Amino acid sequence: MAIEKRSHQRFVPEGLLADIKIIAAQSGVIQITQGVVMDMSYTGIRIHLLTPLSLEIGSLQIKITLTMPESGIPITINGMIKRISDDIELGCYFGNNHLENDLDPLMFECVKLVKIPR
């Protein structure tokens, strides 16, 4: 098993949906889709898409809107797509776009969605 090198631990919020807007920097092409958050941390998020992407990875900017299930508050995260697997799973890095303190309310509510095995 590989040693975890991340400075921020990932967690899995159960059933958190994401509205996603992807913009190709070169062409300006926009694709809008939805997905389910697979895991996230203070610097990135991994999402399983409900419909496959039709864009090449190149330089893609992403805007993710999460609606918190408990409070109903929409939270928007901006970042860059780092990885796309099989056109239905994407990894996004947003560590340079947001201050850690700005993400505290999001992380607090998302951590409450984590299912703890009994």
Confidence band for 94, pLDDT divided at 50, 70 and 90: confident
From residue 47, give the alpha-carbon distance in Å to each of 1, 27, 37, 77: 23, 24, 4, 13
User: What is the reported pTM?
Assistant: 0.75
Tokens of 83: 């990885």
pLDDT tens-place string over residues 25-56: 777 778 889 999 998 887 888 999 999 887 66
From residue 96, give the alpha-carbon distance in Å to each of 65, 77, 93, 107: 18, 11, 8, 17
Give the pLDDT score at 36.
93
CA distance 25 to 118: 45
Measured CA angle at 5 (ends 41, 61), to 5 deg: 45
Q: Which fold has domain 17-107?
A: Thrombin, subunit H (2.40.10)
